[in-house]
Amino acid sequence: MPKVTYIEPSGNEVVIDVPVGWSLMQAATSNGVEGIEAECGGSCACATCHCYIESHADQVPAAEQGERDMLQNAVAEIRANSRLSCQIKMSDQLAGLVVRLPESQI
């Protein structure tokens, strides 16, 4: 199963096996990774699962319009590599992905 490294706001790194097809949010929240709220449960309706994609920039599928609109309203700084983690599905191509979580989501 491909692994993803999540860097929590504290700097703590957590490596998780993420099943293919799961979103980065689902794997993080069900494993209790700190730094993701995901209030809406993955419906792209709350912008509280903001993350920074720190690797695999070319392999991560681009954000759709709805995600881009919601992302503008995330609380933490929006960077070029900002995404909503509920909208990125795990694939074998993303094995080894590194995801950084922001200081705040709400």
**What DSSP element (H or E) covers 5?**
strand 3-7
Is 15 a binding residue for other proteins by CB under 8 A? The answer is no
Smallest separation (angstroms) from other proteins to the CB of 83: 15
Is 47 a binding residue for other proteins by CB under 8 A? The answer is yes
Smallest separation (angstroms) from other proteins to the CB of 93: 20
Q: What is the footprint of other proteins within residues 73-102 (CB under 8 A)? A: 73, 75
Beta strands in 18-90 (DSSP E): 50-53, 82-84
Number of residues forming the site for other proteins (CB under 8 A)? 23
What is the secondary structure of 57-95 as a DSSP string? TTTSPPPPHHHHHHHTT-SSPP-TTEEEGGG-B--GGGT
| The two three-digit tokens of residue 1, written as one number | 């199963």
Q: Nearer Cβ to other proteins, position 7 or 38?
A: 38
Which residues of the shown chain bind other proteins in the complex (CB under 8 A)?
A: 22-23, 26, 29-32, 38-45, 47, 66, 69-70, 72-73, 75, 106
